[in-house]
Amino acid sequence: MMDSLDKAPPGRLHVTHVGTGPVPAVFLHGLFGQGRNFASVARNLGDLATWALIDLPNHGRSPWTDFVDYDAMALAVAAEVARMPHPVHLVGHSLGGRVAMRLALHHPRLVSGLTILDATVDDRGFDPRGFDYLRAMRVLPLYRITTREEADAELARACPDAAVRALLLQNLRRTPTGWAWQINVEALAHHLRSLATWPPAHGTYSGSVAWVIGERSDRVSPADAPAMRVLFPSLRVTVVKQAGHWVHVDAPVVVAQILRDELSRRSPSSH
């Protein structure tokens, strides 16, 4: 099924461009993330690809919306991709992986191939701790916070994992009137439950799909492969040893090599 791009929201998404290689490529981050989280990997692959690192709606520097779901995000990204040289090799992690899959299913002409990093069509792919994190962000007393260290200490009560707190706190920005969240905390909190479910999908994407999952991930399992292949019949599975959900952070060299292989197949010099 192919959706019209005419219904895409008018606001442009924020894009960071990295690399000058011949293959147009796009990265979509996970919940609470930003496109720039992938910048170091993209720089390492800049000889093969020209990367567009996109901030999803309600994240980073992209516009806020009143409604949040996978297809709305996929449509916004598709409208951005349509303005670029395409088809693109589309890479998505977690939430961004699901958005990437929806985009490929609805707008296959825009996508030359997919690399999905630890995301799945099985609903186990959703982390319920997201509710706790958003709740902690909503109640954080920004009016009396004077330093980022104070904000970190406040969040530690609900989020003891320092790496996760760092991810959340990258969304905290100082404004002329004080600290504020750059991420749309209220909209995400209101609609997060809808993101826990993979919406019904029709049709298939027949292009190449590299499915990369962490051996220690608690969100994705190789057992999800049959359900993935219903929609993506050309699925190829790689389980990265000793890696968790943040597979590209835990094993950046391995993921970079997988992407290098994928991009090399799409390079004009390989044809």
What residues are labeled active site? 94, 186, 245
Q: Which helix (H) or strand (E) holds 51?
A: strand 49-54
Distance of CA 125 to the CA centre of its chain: 13
d(CA 190, CA 89): 32
CA distances from 186 to 65, 71, 72, 270 (A): 10, 19, 17, 47
Collect all residues with Cβ–Cβ distance below 8 Å to 187 and sequence separation of at least 6.
Answer: 58, 64, 65, 66, 67, 68
What's the CA angle centered on 232, arms 69 and 269, to 5 degrees? 105
- Dihedral angle over CA of 195, 247, 74, 80, nearest 10: 150
Evaluate the omega torsion of the peptide bond into residue 252 and state whether it is cis, within 30 degrees of 0: no
